[in-house]
């Protein structure tokens, strides 16, 4: 992908300290973009500190559930750059659930995965409406499209993100703003490993390690491997760029052919 597609443009990426968010931040900076990475992690990750030395990356420690703090950050970005060309909503959690997760888990999962996407997405859309351009890419999941046993909260939040994506795309197309969703399949990140034993353990039985479970999952993927964060980031950059200028309201599965 040509660097000129992103050079000097301005992007906001949530969940930018790890996993898919981090991979997206790194790729955008490498392509010459100005990137504002948002994450709840207090200390800027070492991988981002190295990138920040080039002057194109700013790290913001923020809880995406806070409207006031996110609004403040977007105001600062617009004062500095005059625009926001794209927003990537990658912040999310996938907790240990089981069949009957409690109300506390419900609140935390919906707060981050749905409320966080709502807050940052609407902050970005408000600015994009003013400027008459922009692209929002929400990170969903293949579980946005099907049910997943022992993962009812995560699955339902990702269905909600799909609904936001489709509705925002219809509402903001007239302003020249596009909204799409990338739906990763099994991807080797710390977040995807966290519920392995709860979700996949009962399915495959025995006392298998995380690596053994991941190996079983990989064998069920037509392309024969788990996804990598960069695989997902590649799709995100496509949807942010002008190469996808006639695409909105769409869901792009990046799953190696995996069907949940």
Question: What φ, ψ does residue 132 adopt, rounded to 5°?
Answer: 75, 25
User: Catalytic annotation on 154?
Assistant: yes
List 59, 106, 110, 154, catalytic entry: 154
H/E element, 108: helix 103-110
* Distance between CA atoms of residues 181 and 238, nearest Å: 11
H/E element, 120: helix 116-131
Picking from 137, 139, 145, 143, the residue whose alpha carbon sits closest to that of residue 168 is: 137
Q: Which residues of 72-98 are buried (b: 16+ CB within 10 A; e: fewer)?
A: ebbeebeeeeebbbbbbbbbbbbbebe
Place of tokens 């806070």: 66
Q: Which residues are catalytic?
A: 154
């Amino acid at each position: 992908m040509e660097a000129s597609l992103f050079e000097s443009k301005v992007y906001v990426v949530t969940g930018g300290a790890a996993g898919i968010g981090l991979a997206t931040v790194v790729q955008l900076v490498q392509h010459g973009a100005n990137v504002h990475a948002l994450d709840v992690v207090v200390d800027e990750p070492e991988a981002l500190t190295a990138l920040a030395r080039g002057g194109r990356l700013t790290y913001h420690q923020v809880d995406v559930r806070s409207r006031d703090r996110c609004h403040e950050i977007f105001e600062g970005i617009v004062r500095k750059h005059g625009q926001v060309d794209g927003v990537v909503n990658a912040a999310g959690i996938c907790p240990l659930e089981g069949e009957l997760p409690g109300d506390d888990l419900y609140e935390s999962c919906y707060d981050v995965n749905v409320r966080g996407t709502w807050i940052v997405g609407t902050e970005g859309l408000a600015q994009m409406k003013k400027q008459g351009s922009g692209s929002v890419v929400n990170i969903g999941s293949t579980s946005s499209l099907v049910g997943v046993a022992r993962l009812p909260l995560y699955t339902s939040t990702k269905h909600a993100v799909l609904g936001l994506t489709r509705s925002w795309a219809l509402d903001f197309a007239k302003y020249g703003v596009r909204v799409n969703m990338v739906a990763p399949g099994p991807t080797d990140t710390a977040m995807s490993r966290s519920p392995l034993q709860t979700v996949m353990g009962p399915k495959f039985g025995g006392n298998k390690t995380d690596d053994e479970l991941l190996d079983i999952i990989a064998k069920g993927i037509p392309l024969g491997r788990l996804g990598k964060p960069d695989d997902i980031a590649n799709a995100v950059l496509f949807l942010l760029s002008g190469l996808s200028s006639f695409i909105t309201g769409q869901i792009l599965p990046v799953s190696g052919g995996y069907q949940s």
